[in-house]
Chain A
Amino acid sequence: MSLRIAGIGAMASVGHDAAEVFENLCAGRGAPNVLRGFDRSWFTADQLFEIDDRPVPGADVPGRATAFLLDVVGQALADAGLPAQLDDIPVLVGTGLRELRSVELWWRESAKFPVDRLHFGTALRERFGAVDTHTFANACSASLYALALGADLIRMDEADTVIVAGVDSVTTSMYGLADRFQPSPPDRVRPFDRNRKGTILGDGAAAVVLRRDTGRHGVLRSVGINCDARHPTAPDRNGITSAMRLAHELAGVRPRDIDLVLLHGTGTPLNDEVEARAFGEVFGADAGRPLLTGIKSMTGHTSGSAGVLSLIVALRALATGTVPPITAVDDPIDEVAGYRMVLGTAASEPLSMAQVNGFGFGGVNAVAVVEAAR
C-alpha cells in the first residue's frame, strides 16, 4: 500500500491557486504589502502578507479563514477529479489561529459571529456535506500534524481517502504581540540571513487529497510528530532533531536519500539558527547533498497552513525539477555554510525525495517525507 497525493489546492498572498503560487515562488515574486485589514496606527510595523479579499477595501470582515479553507478544499477535490460532496470522507484541518480574527471583530466591532463558526466543521458540512471534520489548533505545525493523523487513518484501514488542509488568517492579537516583541519591525522576511530581523505573518491556505494507492502528485512516505516539552515559544534543537530522525525512520530513508529540504525558515533569529544546526546534526556528512529552500520570504509566515503549503511546493518541485529560491538573503548565517541553499533564483535538477519541516509554538514539531510520483 502507498499513500498518494491525488489533488492539491493552495492560496496565499502570492497566488490564488496551487499553479499560480508555485509559478510566482519559482520566479522569486512575492513580498509583504502595507497593512490593509488592520488600522496601521495601532502598530509600529506596517507590513503583512495578506490575501486581500475584503469586499470593501480596509474594512475587515469575519469568516475569511473559513472562506480560504473552502476555496482550497474545492480546488483539491477538483484537481483530484472528485465530486464536491464529501459525506463520510474525513477532513482534517490544521490551523494556528482558527477563526480568532472573527472573534476579535465580534468583541471589538460588534460583528456578528456565531460560536459554531470558531471551528471549521459547520462550514465544511454546509459546503461539502462533510460530517467527519476535525479542527486541530496546533500552531505553525498544525497542517503537517493533520497530515500525520490523516495518513494514519488510511494506514489503519479506517479511510481510503482523507482531505488534509491548513488555513490561517492573521489576527491583530498575534500581529500586535509580534510587533511588541521585535525591537524594530522587519521590512522583509530574510530567512537564514545574518541581518534577519524576525518574521512577518501572512494569510494562507492549502489542501491535499490523500488516497490509498492512487494519485499523480507524489507519495507520502511519512510524517514524524513530537513535542519539545521545553518552552512555550523558543524552539529546541533536541526536539527538532528527534522529529527529523523519526520522519526518516518511519519513511525508511537515510539522510543521503533526501534530495530537497523545505525548511520551516521563519526568519526569526532563534528558529533559523536552531533549524540549521538540527539539520546539520541529523544529516552529518550528507548535509552538503540536498538542496535547501523555504517559502516564507515570499509568502510570509502563514502559521498553521505553512506545512501543507510547503508540502505542495515540494511536490511541484519533485514533479518539475524546479526549486523556488529563498529571496532577500544577502549574507547567509555561518550555520548554513557548506549547505546547498537555493538563494535568489530558482534551481533546477532532477529530484526524487523531499523533506518538509514544520515547527510551532509550544515545541510542536512535524516533519514529512514525500517522494516523486513514478
Chain B
Amino acid sequence: MNLAITGVGLALPGDASITDLLGPVMARACAVDPASRLGRKGLRFKDRATQLGLCAADEALRAAGLWNPDLAPDERLTVPGESVAVVVSSNLGNIDTVCRVAQTIGEEGSRSLSPMDTPNASSNILASDVAIRFGLRGPNLMVCNGATSGLDAVHWASTMLRSGRAEYVVVLGVEPDNEMVRQLTDTGRVLDGAAAVVLEVPEHAKSRGVTACAEVGRYVRTAGMAECVDRLTSVDTPHVWFTPEGTGKRPEALAGTMRLDIAGRRGLCYGALGVLQCAAAAGWFAQGGDGPVLALAGNDSDDATAGVLLYAGATGD
C-alpha cells in the first residue's frame, strides 16, 4: 500500500523551496532563523536541531491542513492529538549539548551545570518537543540510525500507519551544524537544516479533501547499494535516482537513469537525507517530473543501504 505525502516543510539555508532542492545551492545562503519563523516564545533553551525541527514540522503540519495557527489555542490542531505520531531522524542532534556538558563537568564539576540542559542531554528531545509544541499524543519515535536513518524513519512512519497506531505521521529529518559535529564527522560543513513530510493513507487524505503531493511506495534495506537497486527496480523502473551521500559519479548502478545528488553542496545531510529526498520528490512532481523516483540512502561503506520508491500523488502503483 502506498502512502500519501500531504504536507512538506523545510527549514533550509536560503529559505529554499521543494523545487530548489533539485538544483544547486545558492552561495552564501543565510542560515535559518527560527525566531523569525516561529516567534521567540518557547524557543529559549532549545538546541539548534530542535529549533530547526520545529520550523519544518510547523510548515508541514500547516501544509497538510492539520495545524492552523489562526484558530484558538485548543483548536489549532485540527484533528485529535492521539491520531498524530511523530517520527524524527537525526544522528547528530544533541552532540553539542553532550560535549559541552561533559566539558563543563570535567573543568568545573557538576555544580556549574545548568538544569536547562537536562532535556537536551537525552537524544529524543527533538521528537518530544515537536509533540509538545503541537499537542501530538500519538507514538513518538526518535530514529538515530546512521546514513539510512531518514528513509528508515519514513519506513517506521509507514509501519505505524499500516498497523493502525496512527492516522497521520509527521516525519522529520534534521542535522545541525556546529563545531562538535564537524569534528566528529570530519566534514567541513553539516546541513544545518531540516525537512518534514506528513504521511497518511491516500483514501484518508481524499476523504478530507487534501491532495497528495507525492506517494511513498516500497521500502527495502539491504547490505549494499547494488542489491537495494536490484530489489526496488524489480518492482518498478525509476525515471530519476536520488543518490546516497558520498556516492560520487560511480557509474555501475542504474546507468541510464537521471541522477540527482540532493546532499550535493548542502554539506553532510546524514540522518536528514532520506526526508530531504522525499521532500525533493514532491518538488520533482510539482514541476511536472515523471515517476517513479528512487531514493537511496547509505552507500557501500555504510552499514546498510535503504531505498524507497516514490510516485506522483494519486497515480499510485
Tell me how far the C-beta of A127 lies from the nearest C-beta in chain B, rounded to whole angstroms.
12
Q: A156-B159, A362-B119 are in contact. Are A177 and B125 (CB under 8 A)?
A: no
Binds A, one of B105-113, B202-210, B252-260, B286-294: B105-113
Q: Which of A132, A135, A175 contacts B221 (CB 8 A)?
A: A132
Q: How far is the CA of A137 from the CA of B299 in the complex (A)?
A: 23
Q: How far is the CA of A232 from the CA of B102 in the complex (A)?
A: 21
Name the B residues within 8 Å of A137 (CB-CB): 122-124, 142-144
B98, B122, B131, B135 — most chain A CB neighbours (10 Å) = B122
The chain A residue sitting closest to B103, CB to CB, is: A108
Flag whether B136 is at the interface (Cβ < 8 A): yes
**Could you give, for residues 153-189 of chain A, a 1 whenever the CB lies within 8 Å of some chain B CB and a 0 otherwise?**
1011010000000000001111111011100000000
Tell me how far the C-beta of B192 lies from the nearest C-beta in chain A, rounded to whole angstroms.
17
Flag whether B86 is at the interface (Cβ < 8 A): yes
Q: A43-B110, A133-B303, A361-B128 are in contact. Are A118 and B102 (CB under 8 A)?
A: no
Q: A136-B142, A139-B122, A171-B121 are in contact. Are A121 and B303 (CB under 8 A)?
A: yes
Interface of B, secondary structure class, is helix
Chain A-chain B contacts (Cβ-Cβ < 8 Å), number: 222
Name the A residues within 8 Å of B132 (CB-CB): 229-232, 362-363
Name the B residues within 8 Å of A113 (CB-CB): 184
B128 touches A232 (CB 8 A): yes
Name the B residues within 8 Å of A149 (CB-CB): 141, 156, 159
Flag whether A119 is at the interface (Cβ < 8 A): yes
B105 touches A227 (CB 8 A): no
Q: How far is the CA of A363 from the CA of B138 in the complex (A)?
A: 11
Please, how many residues of chain A have a CB less than 8 angstroms from a CB on the other chain? Answer: 67
Q: Which of A115, A153, A173 contacts B91 (CB 8 A)?
A: A115
Name the A residues within 8 Å of B109 (CB-CB): 41-43
Q: A152-B163, A225-B165 are in contact. Are A174 and B115 (CB under 8 A)?
A: no
Flag whether B2 is at the interface (Cβ < 8 A): no
**Could you give, for residues 227-244 of chain A, a 1 whenever the CB lies within 8 Å of some chain B CB and a 0 otherwise?**
111111100000100100
Q: How far is the CA of A50 from the CA of B105 in the complex (A)?
A: 19
Q: Which of B136, B143, B184 contacts A106 (CB 8 A)?
A: B184
Name the B residues within 8 Å of A100 (CB-CB): 95, 98, 123
Q: A119-B146, A136-B141 are in contact. Are A233 and B123 (CB under 8 A)?
A: no
Q: How far is the CA of A363 from the CA of B99 in the complex (A)?
A: 24
Flag whether B6 is at the interface (Cβ < 8 A): no
Name the A residues within 8 Å of B180 (CB-CB): 107
A176 touches B113 (CB 8 A): yes
Q: How far is the CA of A362 from the CA of B138 in the complex (A)?
A: 13
The chain B residue sitting closest to A158, CB to CB, is: B159
B139 touches A226 (CB 8 A): yes
Flag whether A89 is at the interface (Cβ < 8 A): no
Name the A residues within 8 Å of B160 (CB-CB): 152
Flag whether B145 is at the interface (Cβ < 8 A): yes
A41, A96, A179, A229 — most chain B CB neighbours (10 Å) = A229
Flag whether A283 is at the interface (Cβ < 8 A): no
Within 8 A of B (CB), among A118-150: 118-119, 121-122, 124-125, 131-139, 142, 145, 148-149
Tell me how far the C-beta of B128 lies from the nearest C-beta in chain A, rounded to whole angstroms.
2
B99 touches A103 (CB 8 A): yes
Name the A residues within 8 Å of B162 (CB-CB): 156
B119 touches A233 (CB 8 A): yes
B110 touches A362 (CB 8 A): no
Q: Which of A132, A136, A171, A232 contacts B143 (CB 8 A)?
A: A136
Ranked nearest first, the 4 interchain pairs of A and B with the lowest CB-CB distance are A362-B128, A232-B119, A137-B123, A227-B140
10 cross-chain CB contacts under 8 A: A100-B95, A103-B99, A121-B145, A136-B142, A137-B122, A156-B159, A173-B121, A361-B122, A362-B128, A363-B131
Contacts A103-B99, A103-B184 aside, 5 further interface pairs with beta carbons under 8 A come to A44-B110, A125-B223, A180-B110, A362-B125, A362-B128
Using a CB–CB distance below 8 Å, which chain A residues touch chain B?
A: 39, 41-44, 96-98, 100, 103-104, 106-108, 113, 115-116, 118-119, 121-122, 124-125, 131-139, 142, 145, 148-149, 152-153, 155-156, 158, 171-177, 179-181, 225-233, 239, 242, 360-364
